[in-house]
Amino acid sequence: MSLLSERAHESSRIAQRFAHLKKNKRSALVTFITANDPTPDMFRQILEGLPSAGSDIIEIGIPFSDPMADGPAIQASIQRALKHNTKIKDVLAAVKDFRETEQDTPVVLMGYYNPIYHYGPQEFAQEASSAGVDGVIVVDLPPEEAEELDVHLRANHIQMIFLTSPTSTDERLPAILANARGFIYHVAIAGITGTKLADERLVKDAMKRLRQHTLLPIAVGFGIKTPEQARAIAAHSDAVVVGSAIVDVIAQGTDVDGKPDPTLSVKVLDFVKSMATGVHGVWP
Amino acid sequence: MALAENRNTYRAGVDENGHFGLFGGRYVAETLMPLILSLEKAYNAAKDDPKFKAELAYLHTHYAGRPSPLYFAEHLTQHFGGAKIYLKREDLNHTGSHKINNCLGQILVARRMGKTRIIAETGAGSHGVATATVCARFGMQCVVYMGAKDMERQKPNVFRMRLLGAEVRPVEKGSGTLKDALNEALRDWVANVDNTYYLIGTVAGPHPYPTMVRDFQLIIGEETRRQLHEAEGRLPDSLIAAVGGGSNAIGLFHPFLDDLSVKIYGVEAAGKGVNSGEHAASIGGGSPGVLHGNRTYLLQDDGGQIQDAHSISAGLDYPGVGPEHAWLHFQGRVAYVPVTDDEALKAFELCSRLEGIIPALESAHALAYLETLAPNLPKDHLTVVNLSGRGDKDVVTVADAMGAKL
């Protein structure tokens, strides 16, 4: 890592958040919701409530019609979001509004490459940066293809977060980690989101292997559904990502026409609080 | 990007990262990256191995029935009154289409890699049947993902796959067609990385699939070149093939790409018309984007969401196209032209009546372009149409479109 990018890293919201958590000997809870799921208003209500419910880092999904790495829960959430014709500019507008009242919690956008490519990688990076986005995860941009977007993200001080998986070999890890910034997102299972349960023992082994290759914080996601499980995974990692389980609460509180129960945000945030209790009690 | 004038060949293929200029690539989740890298390695080793080549050649001859004939279509030629029309009879292959060429090649690669479970996606069912066939022959477990809508319109092929021992899993999501079947196959693969081989049926997906599948289909063009030389003593003047993903087309075209006297036409499915919003012409009516592991032309809206394709032919009902076709279009080497559902149906009937050959609806799209091209050409113009498959599987769809009761 060059001196310049190291400085950018240290001064970033993501780095500050992890430094603060480290001082308090706490793991981070990373929460995922899809933009405009189930409606633009309810999404914004949930988003605004996440920091005080205990979410340390917020991931917002950019909807895409063909989410190949996602299981049924997130597929359904994307379908609900697309009913509102959700576009990248809507996602960025929501982040910008969120930033008016919340300056400390990092926001990471997660999605697939086509909507970003179609929007224009440079425009996307510039506008995301001015909206207050801190990191970007693109599921179908492995390091081999990432440069065409990352060059613009770097220029706009957005951290590109790369994924590692149980199939990532030791030979591959240096290539993945070479350009990684912010944190590493370790996919705990070989599979799609929200299906198999993460295996604590395998996660522990993976952390050992990853830490030989990187000093960045490591978040673990895919297959973490309960506070107990979150606590177990948090004991080995720097952060725990919860997505499908939150999205399931949204699905349960939304009727077939896509209309949410008026108390849905309270239910979602209560669930986030319960997950935060699981994660925050421990430190690796 | 390599421009036409900087290259002395259109056949050089991909760069080291699997790109055809702007197109192609490996846009997949990290979990799949190690798999496609090991597939690339295994394929590169196999294709230079004399034992692999000999086994594939043996299977072509004794199992698939190759070479497929190059047939002079006398009556179609008379009917149009212009170009001399030859049909490359891929419909006569075992399983009834060109799909067997690719499946035989890939099942040998899968066996070399020690895989025991094969997954595939299918639209019209031709690739599903060919995959189920080679799985039966080589004793592998076979799961085929097929859109629910496609299962309805291709019932005979669904039953054939089951007879061959394959499990056919319906995909209800999305539009219930080929695109959605591909998504489900990718989800299966990512969850079963250890024992599973994904046998992709067309020249799409992440590198090395577009290159590997093309290589296994090159036999179509290589045979055509030799057979036409025997019949006429020279190269064809034009080639016509239907393009969905584009595997039968690239197989015919590729060996002729550097013979610039040969005009090449790729026929896209225009459904109810390219301006109707209901079509599958990714090049003629789409724009570049990234889907299913590669960058290519796609049908998409102004937010980059993939749109549903429409074609009467389930095998062409896909909102993308193989990246090498995208590149050949970009370079101007191949002309991609539209043919509507109605035009294809008309050609389907014409070929049945005049030649006694019921073509697949996919191939009927290629035949339909003769109506535009052939009449105005001189009688010594030699054109070859790829008759990529037989039409038995389509009789229900065609009867329905004609208002006939079965």
Percent of chain B residues past pLDDT 90, beyond the cut: 92
pLDDT of residue B148 exceeding 70, the answer is yes
Strand partners, B321: none
Mean pLDDT for the stretch of residues A93-108: 98
In one letter, which amino acid is B31? Answer: T
pLDDT class for A2, splitting at 50, 70, 90? very low
* Residues B67 and B227: beta-carbon distance below 8 Å: yes
Mean pLDDT for the stretch of residues B110-139: 96
Q: Do B33 and A162 touch (CB under 8 A)?
A: no
Please tell me if residue B179 touches chain A, with a CB cutoff of 8 Å: yes
State the pLDDT at residue B174: 77
Using alpha carbons only, give the angle A140, A144, A149 rounded to the nearest 5 degrees. 65
Characterize B50-64 residue by residue with b for buried, 16 or more Cβ atoms within 10 angstroms of its Cβ, and e for exposed: eebeeebeebbeeeb
Q: Do B303 and A114 touch (CB under 8 A)?
A: no
List the domain boundaries for chain A.
3-280
Mean pLDDT of chain B: 95
Percent of chain B residues past pLDDT 70, beyond the cut: 98
Tell me whether residue B388 is one of the annotated catalytic residues. Answer: yes
Which of B182, B290, B308 should be substituted to probe chain A, the one whose Cβ sees the most A Cβ atoms within 10 Å? B290
Strand partners, A184: A218
Based on the number of CB atoms within 10 Å of its own CB, is B308 exposed (0-12), middle (13-18) or buried (19 or more)? Answer: middle
Backbone angles phi, psi at B81, to 5 degrees: 70, 20
Q: Do A168 and B27 touch (CB under 8 A)?
A: no
Q: How far is CA B35 from its chain centroid?
A: 23
Distance CA B354, CA A155 (A): 64
Judging contacts by C-beta atoms under 8 Å, the chain B residues touching residue A82 are: 305
DSSP letters for A107-127: EEEEE-HHHHHHH-HHHHHHH
Distance CA A18, CA A217 (A): 7
pLDDT class for B248, splitting at 50, 70, 90? very high
Which of A34, A36, A66 should be substituted to probe chain B, the one whose Cβ sees the most B Cβ atoms within 10 Å? A66
pLDDT of residue B347 exceeding 70, the answer is yes
State the pLDDT at residue A10: 53
State the pLDDT at residue B2: 44
* Nearest CA-CA distance, residue B307 and chain A, Å: 8
Q: Which residues have CB under 8 Å from B184's CB, separation 6+? A: B121, B145, B169, B171, B173
pTM, 2 dp: 0.95
Q: Do A172 and B173 touch (CB under 8 A)?
A: no
Catalytic residue among B84, B88, B99, B179: B99
Characterize B99-131 residue by residue with b for buried, 16 or more Cβ atoms within 10 angstroms of its Cβ, and e for exposed: bbbbbbbbbbbbbeeebebbbbbbbbbbbbbbb
Mean pLDDT for the stretch of residues B115-121: 98
Based on the number of CB atoms within 10 Å of its own CB, is B379 exposed (0-12), middle (13-18) or buried (19 or more)? Answer: exposed
Q: How far is CA B49 from its chain centroid?
A: 26
Q: Give ipTM to 2 decimals.
A: 0.94
Strands B19-20 and B23-27: antiparallel
Q: Do A114 and B290 touch (CB under 8 A)?
A: yes
Mean pLDDT for the stretch of residues A106-111: 98
* Nearest CA-CA distance, residue B185 and chain A, Å: 9
Tell me whether residue B232 is one of the annotated catalytic residues. Answer: no
pLDDT in tens, B305-335: 999 999 999 899 999 999 999 999 999 999 9
pLDDT of residue B3 exceeding 60, the answer is no
Tell me whether residue A123 is one of the annotated catalytic residues. Answer: no
Please tell me if residue B16 touches chain A, with a CB cutoff of 8 Å: no
Mean pLDDT of chain A: 93
Judging contacts by C-beta atoms under 8 Å, the chain B residues touching residue A112 are: 290
* Nearest CA-CA distance, residue A64 and chain B, Å: 6
Judging contacts by C-beta atoms under 8 Å, the chain A residues touching residue B289 are: 114, 117-118
Q: Do B34 and A169 touch (CB under 8 A)?
A: yes
Q: Do B291 and A85 touch (CB under 8 A)?
A: no
Please tell me if residue B304 touches chain A, with a CB cutoff of 8 Å: yes
The CATH fold assigned to A3-280 is TIM Barrel (3.20.20)
pLDDT of residue B6 exceeding 70, the answer is no
Please tell me if residue B204 touches chain A, with a CB cutoff of 8 Å: no
In one letter, which amino acid is B340? Answer: T
Cα→Cα distances B248→B52, B98, B228, B315, Å:
22, 6, 18, 11
pLDDT in tens, B8-38: 899 999 999 999 999 999 999 999 999 999 9
pLDDT in tens, B352-386: 999 999 999 999 999 999 999 999 999 999 999 99
Distance CA B32, CA A139 (A): 11
Strand partners, B238: B263, B383
pLDDT of residue B294 exceeding 80, the answer is yes
Q: Do B303 and A172 touch (CB under 8 A)?
A: no
pLDDT in tens, B52-105: 999 999 999 999 999 999 999 999 999 999 999 999 999 999 999 999 999 999
Number of A to B CB contacts under 8 A, please give it.
114
